[in-house]
Structure 1
Amino acid sequence: MPRSIWSGAISFGLVTIPINVVPATEDHSVRFHQYHLRDMGRVRVRKYCEIEDREVPQEEIGKGYEISRDQVVAVLDEELRELPLPTARAIEIVAFVPAESIDPIRVGEGYYLQASGTVAAKPYALLRKALERASRVAVAKFAWHGRERLGLLRVREEAIVLHAMRWPDEIRDAGALSPGEVRLSDDEIAEAEHLIERMTREGLEGPDFVDHYTEALEQVIEAKREGHAPPEAPEPEAGAGAVLDLMTALRESVAQAKASRGEGAEAEVHELPAKTAAGKTAKKAPAGKAAAGKTTAGKTAKKATKKTTKKAAAEKTAAKKTARRPRSA
């Protein structure tokens, strides 16, 4: 488990739970440094003081707020930690809400909240169990990195997770991105729903959820380390070149989704009811006519069977007579 990045307490009502904050995620991306490509010398970013014209070590660097070009106010880390706010040292729960009421676009990075010491174990377990049974998440306020933020507390397995949240005014309006009014038929929507059903998974596991980009990048680095040419990218599959209408594209997508899940290569055929100009479903043929058609087909099949049987019997008799005749010398 990585080291704690913050320590404080969860506060709700008169209950206080001492906790440590631990990162809940890891970044496995391949990282690069900057190099001068002519001689592969490392290119570094150095911090210089504009007044003294010299490089400044990290311990001499702090935060400052520029009021004007001639006036800068220094703000120490200790002063930020001791801000006159209840959220400066505590994650203060302000409400409990259903999880589905939170727009995912507001939810950010996740952190595990770890009970700090034996005293915190019981109230920590109490909050976790209460959230679980109530099927609720907690909305809290906390102050990190020089600003007060909203947070979302939820249960994950045996731990409480804190997600940083954005304030409502930090979410941009998506109204301007709307494509406008689009006409869709009920058949198109139904086929899209069927494609969603075919592509629905119980969990995010399997070859479709593997970081293939990092794997390919590692292969390139290994090949160059050994002095080989990097592996070539596979040729893209040649398409048919035909422009498909939306309904055809949906049906072929359903067939591909079915094949990828090992359910057979043949696409499932969905017969759509024929519609009249008024949009109503065409009436079915009367039951009497359908029954008459079935009877006629049955009689025709019986006649064909009798003819086939008589022909086979005649051929069999002729074969026997031929076998009994004496061969000529």
Structure 2
Amino acid sequence: MRSIWNGAISFGLVSIPIKLVNATESHAVSFRQIHTEDGGRIRYRKVCELEDREVTQAEIGKAYEDADGSMIPITDEDLSHLPIPTARTIEIVAFVPEERIDPLQMGAAYYLAASGAPAAKPYTLLREALKRSNRVAIAKFALRGRERLGMLRVVGDAIAMHGLLWPDEVRAPEGVAPDAGVTVRDQELDLADALMDTLGEIDLEDLHDEYREALEEVIAAKSAGETPPETREEAAPGKVLDLMAALEGSVRAARESRGGEEAGPAEEAEVRSLRKSGAPSRQAPKETGGKKSTSAGAKKTAAKKAAPKKSTSAAATGGAGAGTGRSGRKAAAKDTAKKTAGRGTATKSAPAKSTATRSAATKSTATKSPAAGSAADKSTAKKSPSRKRSA
């Protein structure tokens, strides 16, 4: 890489000969101005407005334009007497934590290359000192006729310098932020967090200038005498009338676009819908909650299935109505005895005891809920007419 400036880094009493090299480059496609009728180049000519003639570079000097429009000539000799100690030196003035530097101040970036073998040892010393201290160096230097501010930091095995604006060159953000009185709800912040989690991180190496690539395709096609390819027009964004709906739509679109990727932390972001004012917050049930609700439903179903059995017993022991007295109980016992005949003496006593227990339960149930017993009797009567006749 070609150096654009030669000098030295002043590090206390240590002097490090270095070369300044551009750390960045522009890949933008540039155009020339032409005459549209015949394609001729349009060039700028430096003309003296007093003599109305073109002048050469040797005839051009510097001047400062005063407020009234008059020109004050400034010669190179005038500039040579200025008290600039940093004319050929990058003078380090302080070491500060990197977070102290406002990114708004950062400008062009350069690499500082060691100039010659004698610079290798002090260059390495400064680099390792910056690494171990986790700080950056603030320096002054002169470039292209004026003194500038810079920040030195370690990039890999090299020392880089970022040109900085002077603090008074950074404007205060007055009148930029919206007027006070705008409030953001927690639900909107939750959706914004979910959107950020869904988008996740990206490798900056994957980013590229799509506009430049499309422009190069157009130039290549026209150079070959072909029709330029048509580019896809993106839909203009509409007005955001509902911020919550826009955030929810953005989260859905981001998740759909990443549907082919493996699920990660961003996929598990919870999106909670906006609840009405005054309504309690409802959260999505957890997996264990779903199991509990299923068990509860199963218990209810089992209870419904067990109900006809009780009503059947009630119909068998109670006859047409609950509470018929001793005659009803005797008839039920007699009916049960007929059914269990031939099973043995031990078998007869067990059903009789069970029937008596059922009769007591039926009596208790009938006392608590007569309406339920009547409905059960009707249901049982339809299902088993023989039992009704027997009763």
Q: Using structure 2 for the length normalisation, give the TM-score.
A: 0.66
Q: Could you tell me which amino acid in structure 2 is paired with residue 100 of structure 1? A: E
CA contact (8 A) 2:138 2:149 kept: yes
How far residue 303 of structure 1 moved from its aligned partner, in angstroms, is: 8.5
CA contact (8 A) 1:273 1:281 kept: no
Structure 2 gap ranges (5+): 307-391
Q: Could you tell me which amino acid in structure 2 is paired with residue 148 of structure 1? A: E
The verdict on how the C-alpha distance between 1:296 and 1:71 changes in structure 2, with shifts beyond 3 A counting, is closer
Q: Secondary structure at the match of 2:204?
A: coil
Q: Secondary structure at the match of 1:36?
A: coil
How far residue 253 of structure 1 moved from its aligned partner, in angstroms, is: 1.8
Q: Could you tell me which amino acid in structure 2 is paired with residue 4 of structure 1? A: S
How far residue 199 of structure 1 moved from its aligned partner, in angstroms, is: 2.5
Match of 1:175 in 2: 174
The verdict on how the C-alpha distance between 1:294 and 1:202 changes in structure 2, with shifts beyond 3 A counting, is closer
The verdict on how the C-alpha distance between 1:258 and 1:131 changes in structure 2, with shifts beyond 3 A counting, is farther
Alpha-carbon distance in 2 for matches of 1:137, 1:60: 44
Q: Secondary structure at the match of 1:114?
A: strand
Rg larger in 1 or in 2?
2
How far residue 104 of structure 1 moved from its aligned partner, in angstroms, is: 0.6
Match of 2:98 in 1: 99
Within-5 A mapping of 1:291-310: 295-300=295-300
Within-5 A mapping of 1:134-145: 134-145=133-144
Alpha-carbon distance in 2 for matches of 1:62, 1:259: 62
Alpha-carbon distance in 1 for matches of 2:291, 2:199: 41
Match of 1:190 in 2: 190
How far residue 214 of structure 1 moved from its aligned partner, in angstroms, is: 0.8
Alpha-carbon distance in 2 for matches of 1:292, 1:199: 35
Match of 2:73 in 1: 73
Within-5 A mapping of 1:10-159: 10-66=9-65, 72-76=72-76, 80=79, 83-159=82-158
Cα distance per residue 1:172-202 (max 9 Å; x no partner):
1212111023111112112212222232325
CA contact (8 A) 2:17 2:119 kept: yes
CA contact (8 A) 1:255 1:267 kept: no
Alpha-carbon distance in 1 for matches of 2:40, 2:4: 34
Alpha-carbon distance in 2 for matches of 1:70, 1:284: 75
Q: Using structure 1 for the length normalisation, give the TM-score.
A: 0.77
Match of 1:250 in 2: 247
Bigger CA drift: 83-92 or 113-122?
Answer: 83-92
Q: Secondary structure at the match of 2:117?
A: coil
Aligned residues: 296
The verdict on how the C-alpha distance between 1:107 and 1:28 changes in structure 2, with shifts beyond 3 A counting, is same
CA contact (8 A) 1:9 1:89 kept: yes
CA contact (8 A) 1:275 1:282 kept: no
Match of 1:317 in 2: none
Q: Secondary structure at the match of 1:149?
A: strand
How far residue 120 of structure 1 moved from its aligned partner, in angstroms, is: 0.9
Alpha-carbon distance in 2 for matches of 1:121, 1:304: 90
How far residue 36 of structure 1 moved from its aligned partner, in angstroms, is: 0.6
Alpha-carbon distance in 2 for matches of 1:304, 1:204: 63
Q: Secondary structure at the match of 2:220?
A: helix
CA contact (8 A) 2:9 2:15 kept: yes
| Larger fraction in helix | 2
Alpha-carbon distance in 2 for matches of 1:237, 1:64: 50
CA contact (8 A) 1:5 1:23 kept: yes
Match of 1:212 in 2: 210
Q: Secondary structure at the match of 2:131?
A: helix
Structure 1 gap ranges (5+): 307-329
CA contact (8 A) 1:35 1:43 kept: yes
Alpha-carbon distance in 1 for matches of 2:305, 2:143: 88
The verdict on how the C-alpha distance between 1:106 and 1:301 changes in structure 2, with shifts beyond 3 A counting, is same
How far residue 22 of structure 1 moved from its aligned partner, in angstroms, is: 0.6
Alpha-carbon distance in 2 for matches of 1:23, 1:260: 38
Alpha-carbon distance in 1 for matches of 2:200, 2:305: 50
| Larger fraction in strand | 1
CA contact (8 A) 1:275 1:281 kept: no
CA contact (8 A) 2:3 2:21 kept: yes
Q: Percent identity?
A: 51
The verdict on how the C-alpha distance between 1:243 and 1:87 changes in structure 2, with shifts beyond 3 A counting, is closer
Match of 1:259 in 2: 256
Match of 1:225 in 2: 223
| RMSD, aligned α-carbons | 3.6
